[in-house]
Every structure is written in C-alpha cells, then in structure tokens.
Structure 1
Amino acid sequence: MAFDAVVVGGGIVGCTSAFYLARKGLNVALVEKAEIGGGTTSNSFAWVNATAKVFNEAYHRLNASGHQMYCDLMVEFGEDNLGAQPMGALGVVRRSDTGGYAAAQEQARLLSEYGYPYAWVGVQELRTMEPHIAFPDDAEAIFSMSDPYLDAPTFARFMADQVRTLGGTVLEQCAATELQATDEGVVTGLVTEQGTLETPHVLVTSGPDTPEVLSTLTGYDGFAARFPMRRVPGLLVTTPSTAPHRLVRSVVYMSGSEEFHVQTEAGGGLRLGADDIDGKIAEDQSKQNLREAAIDLLRRTKRIIPGFVGESCIDACRLGVGIRPYPEDGMSLVGPLPGSTGLHVIATHSGVSLAPILGSLMAEAITSGEL
C-alpha cells in the first residue's frame, strides 16, 4: 500500500491533521494502535479557548486561530456532528483574593489588547447566568462568550470519517513498529502490524507517548530518554446525568481555596477537575487514591453547587486519568525531526484547542515542501 502521507496516532491532533492532509488532496493513512479518539483525547476537559493563554502573545494568537477554525468547522459541518457545545466560559475570581483578582484583571486587559471576545461580569450577572451555583458576594468573572466545550472523541471520530470520505484509509488496532528510511535519513515507508505502508512522509501525533513512539520507530533510545516533554496526569470525574436540572450552563473555572472546573458533558452529567486534585494523584494513581481524590472533588462540588447530590454518586461516576503531554518550554513542538527527511512531529499541550490550526499548518508545510 502506498500513501502520500501517514499519520501515527488517532487522537484529536492526529485525526485533524489527517483530515487537513486529505483535504489538500493527499492520499492519507491514519494509523492508531487502539481506537480512534481514545487515550488522552477521551480524558480531556476539552474547553476550546485562548482565554487562559494570554501571557505569551504568539501562543495566545495560535490558540485563537484554533478557536476560530472550530467556529468555521461548526458552520461547515454543524455543531452536533462535531460534538461542539458553544456554551461560553466563566473564569470566576473573588475580590478578597488579592493576588488572584489582580491576575484576572491583567488577563482581561491582555484579552482586550489582543481583541479576544469577553465581558467582565459581576456577582448579580453570575447568579443569573448560573443560578445553581452558590457564588460568594464578592465573586466576579471573565466571561468568554464564544468558547465552546467539545466532545473530543466525537470530534476525532468525525474527522476520521471525513478522511475516509476524502479517499483516505483509517487503520485501527494497528500499531506502527518501524520507520523505513534510506541511509541518508529519507523516509520511504512505515511498518505496521497490518503491513508496510510506502510513504515519503510520516507524521507522529502520539500525544504523551510521542517519545516512546519515536524511539520504537527509529530504534534510537534517546528519544524516550531526552525528548523535551513531560507526562502530566489529570483526573476527570464524570457524574451521572443531573436531569431534569442543568446544574452548570457554562464552562466554569472557580479560583481560590475551592478551585475547580466544571461543565455539563454531552450525556448530561457534570465533568469535574481541579489542579490541586491533579497534584494528589501525580505519583499515585492507584484505584483507592483515585477514589479518594474523586470523593474530595465531589464534596467540593456539593459545597459550590448545593443542588448537587455530592459524594453519594461516587460509585456511578466515571473516573478518567488523562496523561497530558507538556513540552518543557510550555509551547508546541511542531515540525520536521532534525537529521531526517519526511519524519514530522506534533507534540503539544492544549491539543484540543490547537488541533485544527496545527493540523492545517502541518498539512500546508508537507504539501508545499516549505518546512
């Protein structure tokens, strides 16, 4: 089998990259060792935004471009097909939190400077927008009205279906095992569990497994040992449906001592997480520790949303640990691998927000030859 390009990794970044390559007219193969839309993609909070990425203007604008491309895709294909819920996001802060409040004001100033849509709202507006949440009297928030929540696995599967529609091939349960290249480092093919794929371009989009995948494909152990990326676990708790109530209407980030983030996922339940909870599971992801961390999160949610059932629903909750890829400098790692011709990589945090822009830029680079 011969292809113009092969993408290794069927998460949201890989599926979206394969889509844009196929849309450019390339004959594309998408290779996934398990199922499309699994792994980190299936355990992502999936808030599409540039709101929280303001302190590096170039990185903010990259995320804003990804955000805009989602808007364009919604117009083209429809929100339901993409798994998109354009609900907006609230970054809540208290005036009594002096440091946090000052940081939020600076964030708002930069959003204004960059031209990103938002509004500053007070506690009365918050209580009207989110009537189930018990906001303290000194709460205020940045409201990013255009930020959607994305059902990332649904989006990834839709992109994979589009690859098929455009004439490409999607191979699931198919691990990539070896890169074929000339002595000069020119890529000629990829060996997989389902056969050898002849191709001049291999794009690795394997998320947190990128260093190990590169080591396996190239036979160079240094990728696994020295690739500049950390693996950071995050716990997400998804509750049963809260119907007939919709306890949370926006993506909500609460700061301060009760820090947590919450949204209503596609099935009607709450999807919950918190940075400090992630810290508690960083070194211990045993079943017992995950359960205790989840109970802590459910209790916190009950304090903030009085109508929520609390920890009594723990046995009906889904506990998911997403291993997030964090490049060491906080930026995205995108482009050709040094010393090779035709081997490319995308490794990034915020893969949900960045998938369309990074995938389209990589497709343009590969098709134009301007890498």
Structure 2
Amino acid sequence: MAENVVVIGAGAYGAAVAASLARRGARVVIVEAGAPAGGTSGATFAWINASSKQSHPYHAFGVAAMDAHRRLAAETPAGDWYHESGNLQWETADDEHEVLRRKVATVVAYGYEVRWLSRAEALKLEPDVDPAALPADEIAYFPREGWVEPARLVGHLLSRAVSRGAELVTDDPVVSLRIAAGLVRAVGLASGRSISAGAVVNCAGPRAGAIAGLAGLDLPMRNTHGVLVHTSPVTVSVSRVIHAPDVHLRPDGGGRLLLHTQAIDGAVRISGNGEMSADGSAVETILEASRVLYPGIRAATVEKVRIGERPIPGDGLPVLGRAAELPNFHFAVSHSGVTLSVHAGDLVAAEVTGEDRGDELAAFRFERFHPAGAR
C-alpha cells in the first residue's frame, strides 16, 4: 500500500488499528489532538467483559474481544497490563436483583461462564469485604472477566506500530479533510500540515461525530461524562472487579483503588469557561461506600478525580468499518472501547488493507443510521 493510512486518534482504538495496519505492511500516520491515551482511554474503568452486552451479536463480539486481549497478553513478555482476575456482582434491591438474574440467565444461554456464589464462597475470593455488605447468596461471579491498565496497553500497541515505521503526531488536531472524486485525499491539521491519505480511520472517540462531519457524514453520538475516583494506597486485598450496589471498584496499581458509580457520572459540573469538575459531596459519597464495603480502607483518601467523555454512538452499538458512500473512510468508534479495541481494531485494519470482513462487521456498519431510501 503506497499511500498513507491516517489514523485519527491515539487512544485504545487508534493504537490497536495502527498496530494492526503496520503489521500488515501499511504506511501509517497516527494523528492525536493531545497526548496518547490522554482522553477517554486514560479515564476509563477498563473493565474487560462481555456480560454487559446483552444482544447476541454484540455479546459474541465482546467474547471474541476478550479472547483477543488474552492472546495479546500471552504473546507479549511484558503483557502484565492485562488482569483476568474475575468480576463479582450483586444487588440488594429486589428490582435490581431481578435485572441481574435476567442478565445472568441471558449470558448463560449464550454459553458464557458465570456462576452464583454464596456469601462464604465470595469471601474466600475477597476476604477483606465486610460480610454484612454481602447477601447470603446469589452473588454473580464471572471468572474470565477482568481489567486492563489502559495507558500501558495503548503504549504497547503504539510502540508496535512505531517500530514498524508508523509516524505518531501529537498535540495537533485534525481540522479538515480534503475530498475529491468520492474519496478522502488529505487530512489537514491545526498546525497547517496536510497529510496525503489513501485511507482514513476515524478513531477520534468523543470527537468521532465531528470528524465524520468533516467528511460530510452524519454520525449520531450521545456522549456522556464518566467520573473516576483514584484512592491513596490502601492496606486491604482487592483482587477483582467488584460491582456492589453502591460502588464499583477495582485495583489500580500501587495498592490504590479505582472507584466508580453511575450516580457520580451525573455529578459533573461545567464552569462558564468549560472546565469540568465533580461535585465534592458525590466524591465523598462514593469513597464512603467503598469504606463500608472494605472496612480496612477507612484511612483512604482521594488522590485524583478524572473526568472523561465517553463516546457512545446513537444506538449504543459500535460503529466499525468503511463508509459505503466514502469507501476509503473507516470508523472504529464505540463505548466499551478498551474491551473491544484489540479485536475490532484488527478487523477494521484488515478491511482497510483489502480483506473481506463483511460478515464480522455487518452488525456494526455506519449505514444502519441511514438506511437506503430513508433519506
């Protein structure tokens, strides 16, 4: 492939697409508006799973994505960014418990590995949890799920790409696309640089809709904010992803914990100059919920609060692969991007280089938003 493939974005998707393209012999230029993994990929809970994906095509895609993470980590001597430690989830309210039961029943029917644990069984896995915080039974355990350290994953993938000749451009946003004869011909940057393009892959995360707009394509997005709370180092054993009713948490390296809830996502405040912050009382609430769950972390404090913008296409499903009306313009955009990135990035890269991945990407095409005859 003589011409550049320009990958817009150096988060999890951009890094995965670029690494796969470079492995296939493409000449790659990765363009990032800020720093690699400095946007959504650096502010994500990074829970690797398929249990949250309930439709069968999406669930199956998630299972394949989990397998791709395992393979990548297994083939990499320093691939210890991947932690397949399992996920525990339980609910105490009757309506939420019924939702969890339905979720478990659905993925069991798909052949996904999950089992119900008693309180005593769960405490063998997480002995520092307060027993009073656990129900007597019906604690869902997903043993093949886990989490990754996203910045290290992105760094590894970008290193792979660069070692095979890819160019990484940072702190230089894309501001224009030049289109001629039904194809993207060049990518214009804020610095004034113009990069000739044989193909473009839109991995711009929250800006994916805006980048599509530069190509004359309407990609509906319903982005949301996500708030993550990083604790100081704690003297308790937390080995797994934990989804408790009042707090979600996982290890975060160096003895720290990463905390999240959907409620805190709604506590983002945006100032008049556009700066984002999380309401202090909401941060304290989530920290207190973690202390109730793990009494040994009473002395924990908040070291950092990170706010990211989650890229969510209009119907919640990924948007992957080429655009039919602009066939050298490709998408790699979704929520759950860290889970899907390695697998989806490889499929998109394969299509960019001429392989037929129609069956695997059929459910996630851009054209579903604009069916023929509906315009």
Would you say same fold, with TM above 0.5?
Answer: yes
1:18 aligns with 2:18: yes
Question: Which residue matches 2:333?
Answer: 347
Aligned length: 351
AA aligned opposite 2:52: A
Deviation by residue 1:270-293 (Cα, 9 ceiling, x = unmatched): 100001221233778977743222
Percent of residue pairs identical: 24
Q: After superposition, give the CA deviation of every residue in 1:243-271 in whole Å (9 maximum; x if it has no partner).
A: xx33421100013xxx2200011232110
What is the TM-score when the length of structure 2 is the normalising length?
Answer: 0.87
- 1:338 to partner: Cα distance: 4.7
CA contact (8 A) 1:92 1:139 kept: no
Q: Distance in 1 between matches of 2:270 and 2:186?
A: 38
SS in 1 for 2:102: helix
In the alignment, the residues of structure 2 paired with residue 282 and residue 113 of structure 1 have an alpha-carbon distance, to the nearest angstrom, of 41
CA contact (8 A) 1:82 1:154 kept: no
Distance in 2 (CA, whole Å) between partners of 1:339 and 1:60 is 28
Q: CA separation in 1, counterparts of 2:200 and 2:80? A: 26
Give the C-alpha shift of residue 212 in structure 1: 2.2
After superposition, the C-alpha distances for 1:217-246 in whole angstroms (9 at most, x for unaligned) are 44x5xx6xx63111100110001111xx33
Matches within 5 A, 1:279-298: 279-281=266-268, 289-298=278-287
- 1:174 touches 1:194 (CA, 8 Å); kept in 2? no
For 1:253, the equivalent position in structure 2 comes to: 243
Q: Which secondary structure state, in structure 2, belongs to the residue aligned with residue 342 of structure 1?
A: strand
Does structure 1 conserve the Cα–Cα contact (< 8 Å) formed by 2:259 and 2:286? yes
Partner residue of 1:176 out of 170, 174, 177: 174
Q: Which residue of 2 aligns with 1:117?
A: 113
- Tell me the distance in 2 between the aligned counterparts of 1:200 and 1:209: 21
Asked if the contact 1:133/1:304 (under 8 Å) is kept, the reply is: yes
Q: Is 1:128 matched with 2:118?
A: no
Q: Is 1:313–2:312 an aligned residue pair?
A: no
**Matches of 2:91 and 2:135 in 1, distance apart?**
11
Is the CA contact (8 Å cut-off) linking 2:270 and 2:277 kept in structure 1? no
Normalised to the residue count of structure 1, the TM-score between the two structures is 0.88
The runs of 5 or more residues in structure 1 that have no matched partner are: none
Residue-by-residue CA offset, 1:139-186 (whole Å, 9 max, x unaligned) = 53221112121011110111000001122211122222221221x221
Of residues 205, 210, 225, the one that matches 2:203 is 205
Summarize the Cα distance change of 1:137–1:119 in structure 2 as closer, same or farther, 3 Å threshold: closer
- Contact 2:268 2:277 (8 Å CA) reproduced: no
Structure with the largest fraction of helix: 1
Q: Quickly say closer, same or farther: Cα 1:136–1:249, change in 2 above 3 A.
A: same
Query: Aligned partners of 2:20, 2:104: CA distance in 1, in Å?
Result: 33
**Counterpart in 2 of 1:360?**
346
Task: Note the 1:213-232 alignment, pairs <5 A.
Answer: 213-215=211-213, 217-218=214-215, 227-232=219-224
> Equivalences for 1:133-212 in 2 at 5 Å?
133-134=129-130, 135-182=133-180, 184-192=181-189, 193=191, 195-212=193-210
Aligned to 1:235: 227
Task: Decide whether the 8 Å contact of 1:281 with 1:293 is kept in 2.
Answer: no
Distance 1:11 1:194, change over 3 A: farther
What does 1:75-94 correspond to in 2, within 5 Å?
75-78=74-77, 80-81=78-79, 83-94=81-92
- Structure 2 counterpart of 1:18, which letter? A
Please state if 1:70 is matched with 2:60.
Answer: no
Relative distance call for 1:287 and 1:205 in structure 2 (3 A) is closer
Quick one: structure 1 residues 282 and 123, their matched pair in 2 at CA, closer, same or farther if it must change by over 3 Å? Answer: farther
Letter in 2 for 1:156: V
- The answer for unaligned runs of 5 or more in structure 2 is 359-375
Aligned with 2:223: secondary structure? strand
